[in-house]
Amino acid sequence: MEGLASLLPFVLIAVVFWLLLIRPQRRRQQELARTQRELQVGDEVMIGAGIVGHVATVDEEFIELETSPGVRLKVARGAVVRVLTPDPVDEVGRSEDPTDPGTGPTAN
């Protein structure tokens, strides 16, 4: 019984380590892999180097990223770190929140 009691703190440390570090990291890796698998033409993405562009073509291993009109980069699918989603902002760049004093028909 004493041998089992002396191992209990190590077992608890291993369980806490798994719950706090390994499990969340595995989830993030799975989410990133799913994001990279589901890339579609037209998605706005950011690669690991911080370059942002729209997906022009999708291949099994590579994608072509259009960073400016006529400028395309061929990058590995694994370089994509996230898909950017558009913000709810109107074409002028202001939020459409009616309670915001800087918006509305009378705003300059």
Higher pLDDT, 71 or 108: 71
- What is the three-state SS of 36-54? HHCCCCCCEEEECCCCEEE
**Distance separating alpha carbons of residues 55 and 65, to the nearest angstrom:** 5
22-26: average pLDDT: 89
Contact indicator for 76, 61 with CB cutoff of 8 Å = yes
Which tokens belong to 56?
């022009």
Domain ranges of the chain: 1-38, 40-108
> What is 40-108's CATH number?
2.30.30
What's the mean pLDDT when you consider all of the chain?
A: 83
Residue 3 banded pLDDT, cuts 50, 70, 90? confident
